[in-house]
Amino acid sequence: MLRATRFLKKGAGAITRISATSKHVLRSSATQQRPYHQAGPDTSEKETIVKLLYNIGSKKEVEQYLRHFSSVESQKFAVIKVGGAVISDDLATLASALTFLNRVGLYPIVVHGAGPQLNTRLAAANIEARYEDGIRITDGPTLAIAREVFASENRKLVEALERLGTRARPITGGVFVADYLDKDKYDRVGKIVKVNREVVESSIRAGCLPILTSLAETPEGQILNVNADIAAGELARVLEPLKIVYLNEKNGLYNGTTGKKIETIHLDEEYQDLLKEPWVKYGTKLKLKEIKELLDTLPRSSSVAIISAEHLHKELFTHSGAGTLIMRGHRLFCEQDLAKVDSDRLRALFKEHDPAIASGETTAASYWQELAQTKKSGGQYWVYGDEPYQVAAVVVRKPGQTVGVLDKFIATKSALITRDHSKLVWRVPRGDDNLSWHFERADGSWAIGDEIVFWYGIKDWSEVSSILGTAGPTAAAGAAPQAKAPAGTRTYSTMARRMAVRNAAPSSRRSYSTASPGSPLRVGLIGARGYTGRELIRLIDSHPRYELAYVSSRELAGKPVPNYTKSQLDHVNLSAQQVGDIAKNGRSDVDVWVLALPNGVASPFVAAIDEATASLRADQQPVIVDLSADYRFDSSKRWAYGLPELHREKLVGSTTGRIANPGCYATGSQLGIAPLLPYLDPTRLPSVFGVSGYSGAGTKPSPKNDPAFLKDNLIPYSPVNHIHEREIGYSLTRAAKPEYPFNAANPLKVQFTPHVASFFQGIGLTLHVPLRLSITAKDVHELFKEFYRGERLVHVTETAPLVRDNAEKHYAVVGGFAVPPQSDGAAGSVSLAERRVVVNVTLDNLLKGAATQAIQNMNIALGLDEYAGIPLQEEPAISLA
């Protein structure tokens, strides 16, 4: 089951973005050498590392892989082949990655080569490196230098591990027994005939990582050279590990035609087709052949991963992986006659995994009868499955229909279904753990109640609606929408692209369309006089689905709404009671109310809407987006906090349609702190120095928005207890995972000092974030890039972003990462009091800090594409003069 689970990625709301590289984690523990007699990792240390692993994947999947890897004998965890180039070019990362695994109680077995180093030494000795059939010809002088080089490189890796407190044992002989491969042709090159596993196992029993060279010996004691790939494969055949890992610098195999990384290969299903690809030749073809021959001799639970040292932990402990995963898999079948399938095994599979049959709602026999009746009346059905009956799917096309419906689906394989059906429709429960897998394979989707309807190959919603007998968007004709696939999803086949699903009963929960274009969604804007209100009007005017129904402003009542071209509209002055009267009609008049009001003013309008709509179903009630601070600290769980990059799951799953839009300073500060949450020092407070343009002070005249007073000036205000100071700590605490060093009982607190400057719009933030471990600026940069991968309104840059470059842009920029200098150049040499990261953030206070974020939240709440109507610029080229 674990192998199948590997290919079912987490749900859309549970997207994992943090990639805590091994280097981040290890430097906190690398300063103390582990006593030699200690045979395993310290319990508290192991718990800490496991908790940090939760940041590269969900707690559930990390623990799943840990249980899986720990369920076998230590020597059966993984054999890792390390190329010589990795040792010479990336030794520190390699040692950190191996130490990371050892800290959680795992013992990878390393077999390394030294090809580049050997060539360098041979050239220095004026010895020509000669090859025949890709095999190094190893004469006496070559072998003598090879032994020295292997011993030297082996010692380098062992010493690097020991410096990190990880016990390692150098093994340069005694494991591989070989005969001459062809003495006349290759000289002293061996063919392994026996593996002495006891040498490896004794190292593990002593608590040491086995570090092997690939040199072998004849029974008479003659040393022979063996290719490291071959040696690693022969060792794997004897030990039968769960994982065989080949480390390379490219982090996987790449499609020579598209240039894209191949994420997964199922050999039983795809091997022959892969060999026909024009780019699969020479070394690539040989590598695939060797891997197939190796896996053919191992249990089906074994797999090969091709990955870089830096991403090794992510490949091993997450469903999404990071490199290329190769496994045997199973061949798929397709039958249109139930008599040709093993009905007993199919029935057993459905009884265990199909919700309707497992719950007793129906029986397998009744379902077989339905299929037979469909065929008898002129329809068709297709039964798909794999040879061991671990996956199965049924596609049904009723009489008179041209599109098949995926009626039953268990597990993950889809190549045959997509080959046979150019169009397909299916339903998935909203809470399904594998939503991202479905989004990846769909051309469009529609959220309705507790389900999401997916389809591919269909251009018109009416076709989907007629098949399912479900009413949907009233005007969804035209191009089918592009479903927004959650980030971090592994594409589970190099050939197949789409498919999925289980059936689920509908409910009366909120129902909105992801299809576009469709019927207009009407917006009521309360508070249009301010700068944010004006930006909202501009964004709504250019939005493909929104139109303004009411624009309310006490000062502007009766005047035309500027910068709005969809219709002629005048400002009105709506009271809370009048808003309530409009809301009584539910969404027939207004789909979403946006409250762009000062703090403390929104609650009467919210109360009026709540009272007027109390008797309506959830899907009839309008959405409310409040831009004030009135509901950002709501503890009733009626209000979702609208920072999608950190709280998307709660926004997508909200049934109340009440969204508290974050403050501008709070948005930037949280974006700058969130990736570092697992590493915060709970004894010290993060500090935020913020500077805003004077538009942040509003339109009511004051010294803080008087350009003449601000000229050549910088004004601090609210130096303590600013409402954004409380909001930053409160909201980050709510975003924290259980294993973080703070929670509701011990909330995170920050120090925040705002300032206003002479420019009009934009915010610059400098954050000092205290950590409980040492880290490099490069590592922080990589951490932030991984955390915000796929986020189109957060850009990560290595240099410090500038306010002027980000004004009038809809995204935030995070960058300029800096750490205190190491006193002696060694990681971990900075004292605890000095361990911190400096992060710079810029954003437009009126856009990502207010109006743009409101549109983003409205889109999510109404089931539209999250970025609909938001101008998405390319990542900026930012530099410091």
Give me the DSSP letters along 122-183: HHHTT----EETTEE-B-HHHHHHHHHHHHHHHHHHHHHHHHTT--EEEE-SSSEEEEES-H
Judge contact between 827 and 747, C-beta under 8 A: no
Alpha-carbon distance of 803 to 844, in angstroms, equals 8
Alpha-carbon distance of 149 to 115, in angstroms, equals 9
**Residue 115 CB neighbour total at 10 angstroms:** 16
Judge contact between 596 and 625, C-beta under 8 A: no
Judge contact between 64 and 233, C-beta under 8 A: no
**If DSSP states are collapsed to H, E and C, what string results for 673-735?**
HHHHHHHECCCCCCEEEEEECHHHHCCCCCHHHCHHHHCCCCEECCCCCCHHHHHHHHHHHHH
Residues 206-229 as b/e (b if ≥16 CB within 10 A, e otherwise) read ebbbbbbbbbbbeeeeebbbbbbb
Token pair, residue 91, equals 């030794």
Cα 868 from chain centroid (whole Å): 22
Alpha-carbon distance of 685 to 750, in angstroms, equals 5
Token pair, residue 745, equals 């009982």
Of the residues 664, 688, 710, 800, which is catalytic? 664
Token pair, residue 587, equals 């969404």
Judge contact between 350 and 364, C-beta under 8 A: yes
Ramachandran angles phi, psi of 416, nearest 5°: -70, -35
Token pair, residue 100, equals 């990371």
Report the helix count and the strand count for the chain, using DSSP H and E.
30, 37
Residue 11 DSSP class:
P
What are the contacts of 72-75 at 24+ separation with CB within 8 A?
A: 72/242, 74/106, 74/107, 74/204, 75/107, 75/109, 75/197, 75/200, 75/201, 75/204, 75/239, 75/241
| Single-letter amino acid code for the residue at 704 | K
Decide: residue 829, CB within 10 A, 0-12 exposed, 13-18 middle, 19+ buried: middle
The answer to whether 664 is a known catalytic residue is yes
Alpha-carbon distance of 29 to 683, in angstroms, equals 19
Judge contact between 419 and 438, C-beta under 8 A: no
Judge contact between 570 and 556, C-beta under 8 A: no
Token pair, residue 868, equals 């609909």
Nearest to 622 by CA among 633, 614, 632, 630: 614
Judge contact between 98 and 209, C-beta under 8 A: yes
**Residue 282 CB neighbour total at 10 angstroms:** 8
CA atoms within 13 A on the CB side of 657: 26
Please list, in sequence order, all residues whose beta carbon lies within 8 angstroms of the beta carbon of residue 235, skipping any fewer than 6 positions away: 79, 109, 111, 175, 176, 195, 200, 212
Alpha-carbon distance of 847 to 762, in angstroms, equals 9
Alpha-carbon distance of 328 to 304, in angstroms, equals 10
Catalytic residue numbers read: 664
